Amino acid sequence: MKVYIKTYGCQMNERDSDAMASQLEACGHTIVFTEEEADVLLFNTCSVRDAAERKAKGKIGYMKKLKAQKPGLIIGVAGCMAQRLGDQLLAELPHLDFVLGTGQLHTLPEKLAEIAATRARFSATEPSFDVLTGMGGHFSHTWHAEIAITRGCNRFCSYCIVPYVRGREISRSISDVVEEARELVANGVKEILLLGQNVAAFGLNGDTRPPAPGYSPFADLLDELDKIDGLLRIRYTSPYVSYFNDRLIETLARAKKVCHNIHLPLQSGSDRILKEMNRQYTRDSYLAKVAELRSAIPDITFSTDVIVGFPGETDADFALTREVMNQVDYAQSFVFKYSPRPGAKSAERQDSVPEEVKEERNQILLADLAARVEKRLAGMYQKTVEVLVEGVSPRNPERWSGRTGTNIMVHFEPDDKIQAGTLRQVKIIQTNPVSLFGKLAD
C-alpha cells in the first residue's frame, strides 16, 4: 500500500515518523508525499500544546471529503494525541479507522495488515517497553540522523502531560545506541542528534535525583560515540539542568565531536513560579550550572524554552524571567504562551493571566532575543568558523548553508568541490540582524 505520513510537533515525533516509514518500507509498503496518491493516511500527532491538537484534529476532519471520494482509504492517528484521547477520537471522527498510541508505534505494520484485512476500527494505547528497542529503523538516508535514546519522562512538571502520553522514563543500553550509530555512519551519516525528553537522565533507570558528581551514564554514552571513526558531530536534546554534574561537564568539555551548544530549558526565572511548575531547581542553581558550563567550555552557546503567563505569574515574576534570559544571553529562545493541558496538574488552577498579557510578554522576550542575536552575529564579522555543510540554502539557490558547532547558521557561495556532510572553513564577510554570510576559506 501507499502510505502518507504527516507529522506534528517535536523532533521526537519526527524521529518516530521516520522509524515508522522505515518499518513500512521494510514490509513492502511505499511511502508517498501527497495525500491524494495514498492508500493510507497516518497523522503522527502532538499533545504538548492545545494548538497542536486543534491543528491535527482540523486536518483529520478535513480528510472526510477525501475518504468520501476514496472509500477504501485508511486513516489513522498515532502519537501523543492518540495516546491521550484513544477511543474518544474514534467517536469524534467516524471516518477514522485506527488510533495508535505512543507505546504501540512499533506494531504499525501488523496493525495495518490487520485493518486492511478486516476493516475493523480499533484503538491501541497499551504501554510497551518494546517501542524503544523496536523503533531503530531509518527511512531518510542523509548525512544527518536522529537516534532516540530514551522515551518518556519522570519529572512531572505541573504544566506538562508528557509523562501521561509517553509514559515513564526508559533508556536503551549504551551498546544498542552505539551499534545503531555505527550502522548509520557506515551508511554515510556524519552528524547524529540524540533525542529524549531528558537525555541527560539516560541510564539512570528513572531516578529523578541528581546523580553523584562522578556518575553519568549519558557521559559514558557520549564517550563511546566520540570514538566512532567517520562521525563528525554529536548533538543532543533536551537535557534537564540538574543532571549536569562534574562527570558530564568534564566529558562535554573534552569530547572532540560533541557540539558546544546546549538546549537548556528554563521555563521561568522566578523561584515561586518554578516551584509551582515543579521544576525542582532554583534561579540561582540554574545560573550556577550555566556558569560551570561556560567556565569549562568558553565558546558554548545556549538555547532555551520559556513559558509566559503561567497561572499566577505577576509582572515581577515575568521581570525575573526576562532578567535571567538576558543574563544567560541565549542564542535562541522558544517562548510559549501558557495553555492548560487536560490531565496536567496546573490545569486544575485558573488560567489567570489574560491572553493579551501573555502576548505582550511573549513579544517582549522575542524582541530581547532579536537584539541579542543581532549583537552576537555582528561580533562574528571577519572571523573564520568551521561549518558542517548542510546543502543548498532554502532561501537562495545560489548559496549553500552550514552550521557551526555552536549551532549558528552560515550562508556562503559554494565551490565546485562542495558536498553536504563535510566540514569547511568559512570566513564571515557580512552580517545582518538574523544571518551570517561568508566565503569559503579553505
How would DSSP label each residue in 196-248? Answer: -TTGGGTTSTT--SPPPTT--HHHHHHHHHHT-TT--EEEEE---GGG--HHH
How many other CB atoms are found less than 10 A from the CB of residue 167? 22
3-state helix, strand, coil in the chain (%, to 5): 40, 20, 40
Closest CA to 250 of 286, 220, 230, 206: 220
Phi-psi region of 425 (alpha: psi -120 to 50; beta: other; left: phi over 0): beta
Please give the pLDDT value at position 364: 98
Report the CATH architecture of 2-129: 3-Layer(aba) Sandwich (3.40)
Report, as ranges of residue numbers, the positions in the chain whose pLDDT lies below 70: none
The torsion angles phi and psi of 122, rounded to 5 degrees, stand at: -155, 160
Q: pTM (2 decimals)?
A: 0.95
Backbone φ and ψ of 437, nearest 5°? -125, 140
Fold of the domain spanning 266-377: Transcription Regulator spoIIAA (3.30.750)
Residue of 186, 177, 175, 99 whose CA lies nearest to 132:
177
Name 329's Cβ contacts closer than 8 Å, sequence gap at least 6. 302, 372, 376
**Cα separations (Å) of 39 from 3, 66, 94?**
6, 11, 18
Number of separate helices (H) and strands (E) present in the chain? 14, 19
Query: By the 8 A CB rule, do 325 and 269 touch?
Result: yes
What are φ and ψ of residue 236, in 5° steps? Answer: -155, 150
Collect all residues with Cβ–Cβ distance below 8 Å to 126 and sequence separation of at least 6.
101, 103, 104
Q: What is the DSSP letter of 406?
A: T
Domain 2-129 and domain 266-377, same fold? Reply is no
For 262-286, the DSSP string reads: EE---B-S-HHHHHHHT----HHHH
Domain ranges of the chain: 2-129, 141-259, 266-377, 384-440
Tell me 258's DSSP state: B
> Does domain 384-440 fall into CATH 2.40.50.140?
yes
The number of residues making up the chain comes to 442
Annotation: CATH topology of 141-259 = Transcription Regulator spoIIAA (3.30.750)
Write down the pLDDT at residue 135.
84
Q: What is the pLDDT of residues 175-234, one digit of tens each?
A: 999 999 999 999 999 999 999 999 999 999 888 888 999 999 999 999 999 999 999 999
Name the grid cell of 126: 497499551
Dihedral sign, Cα of residue 416, residue 421, residue 422, residue 424: positive
